[in-house]
Amino acid sequence: MTVSEIVEKRGNSRENLIQILHDIQDVSGDNSLHKDKIEELSKLMDLNVADIVGTASFYTMFSLVPRGKHIIRLCDSPPCYIMGSDNILEALEKKLGIKMGATTEDGMFTLEPTSCLGVCGVAPALMIDEEVYGNLTNEKVNGIIDGIRAG
Ligand code: FES
């Protein structure tokens, strides 16, 4: 789907900007907002590029740099931390072979921190793309990653 098709579908008013940015990022192929697409959007919506970049930078779900196909967001808020999110981070970094904030060489995963996902009752928790996983253990995390890799 092109930027103009997305804008046409959502409507070009300012209140639709977040949803439009989501759609553009979803079809980017690398989970990010490309400079040329933002420039195109700026013309279509009659908004400043700086305004769009400012909005995109404010929300952690958007990225201006290329990311993996799947975004892993590990909760680092206190309830998850107390329940061992630091151990989960260690297990994830080992499993993926990357540090927090990085993307795997095969472009499959980007590991990012997030604040509370709203499921503290099953802490420690993480979110991969749109799906939330709780009651994490090292074994469970390894199984989740293997499952996604296996498709
Ligand atoms: S603190 Fe991690 S889900 Fe709420």
Question: Is the whole model's pTM more than 0.95, yes or no?
Answer: no
Buried b (16+ CB within 10 A) or exposed e, 58-76: eeeebbeeebbbbbbbbbb
- Beta carbon of 16 within 6 Å of any ligand 1 atom: no
Look at 21-25, 51-55, 58-62 and tell me which has the smallest mean pLDDT: 58-62
Output the CATH code of domain 70-150. 3.40.30.10
Q: Helix, strand, or coil here: 140? A: helix
Where residue 6 falls among pLDDT bands split at 50, 70, 90? very high
Torsion sign, CA atoms 138, 142, 144, 145: positive
- Confirm or reject: Cβ of 136 under 6 Å from ligand 1: no
pLDDT value of residue 115:
94
- Phi (first) and psi of residue 73, to 5 degrees: -115, 110
Amino acid at residue number 136: L
